[in-house]
Structure 1
Amino acid sequence: MAPNISLTYAEIERVSNLLDTSVDVTLVPRMKEAKTEVETLLDNNLVLVHASPALKDQYGKFSASLIAATDAIKGYATQFRKIKESVEDMDKDIADKVNSSGQ
Structure 2
Amino acid sequence: MNEKTFKALLASTATIFTLIFCVMVMPAFFENPDIISAFAAGFVNPFASGYSADVILCWLVLLIWIVYEATQLSVRYGWICLLLGIIPGVAVGFALYLIIRHPQVNRET
Q: TM-score under structure 2 normalisation?
A: 0.40
Query: Could you say which structure has the larger radius of gyration?
Result: 1
Greater relative contact order, per chain length (Cα 8 Å cut-off, separation 6+) = 1
Q: TM-score under structure 1 normalisation?
A: 0.42
